[in-house]
Amino acid sequence: MTGISPSDISSLIHHRRAIFPKFYIPGKPVERGFIEQLLENANWAPTHRLTEPWRFRVFHSEESRRRLGDYMAEFYRKNTPPEQFSEEKMKKNGENPMRSGAVIAIVMQRDPEARVPEFEEIASVAMAVQNMWLTCTAMGLGCYWSTPRAALEAGTFLNLQPGERCLGLFYLGWHTMPELPGKRRPVAEKTAWL
């Protein structure tokens, strides 16, 4: 059908890695066309009853990424107990969006009719993110799905609508991280044949 071999798909899946913003090349933009391709591929994730629960807020411009960084740093400052506060962590929260070529807020829109259990819609959104992640891997883009409290409680900042819920931030950027071997225990340890 597509000319993609099962071994090519397996290789892409096995080479997918979380690549953190500290490895991104600052100032190297991710072109809007690449982001649009990621989102288009996300849009083809499986979805029970065609609820298509994924929604995205894209922080692409320098100004929007700076606003996100300011929000993240300020949330950390306001919500971290003094005995746990770290100036370095607050700085990192603010800098990560600026190190990235773009940041995408991952949002789930709950089906207003609740025709499927919520966990199925969360799973659909996660599959949409996996489509994005595999696309980034194929393009050579680094990416990372982060779920800090600041993102999970960003309803006002993200202007979320009724029924919407943020499930985290998807950072992406061109990177300098060398290829690392994967680590997984054998699937046989996790499988029972009945």
Residue 79 belongs to some domain of the structure: no
Residue 3 belongs to some domain of the structure: no
Residue 190 belongs to some domain of the structure: no
In this predicted structure, the answer to whether residue 1 has a pLDDT above a threshold of 90 is no
The first and second tokens of residue 58, run together, are: 């894209």
Residue 74 belongs to some domain of the structure: no
Tokens 């298509």 sit at which residue?
Answer: 52
Residue 188 belongs to some domain of the structure: no
Residue 33 belongs to some domain of the structure: yes
For residue 50, the domain's CATH number is: 3.40.109.10
Altogether, the residues listed in the chain come to a count of: 194
DSSP character at residue 19: -
Q: Which residues pair with 175 in a beta bridge?
A: 24
- Of 110, 150, 106, 161, nearest to 131 by C-alpha is 106
Residue 183 belongs to some domain of the structure: no
Residue 21 belongs to some domain of the structure: yes
Task: Give 94-131 pLDDT, tens digit per residue.
Answer: 999 999 999 999 999 999 999 999 999 999 999 999 99
Residue range(s) defining the domain that contains residue 129? 17-61+100-178
For the chain, what is the domain count? 1
188 CB neighbour count, 10 Å cutoff: 8
Work out the average pLDDT over 30-47. Answer: 97
- C-alpha–C-alpha distance, residues 39 and 32, integer Å: 11
**Type and span of the H or E element at 171:** strand 164-173
The amino acid sitting at 179 is: E
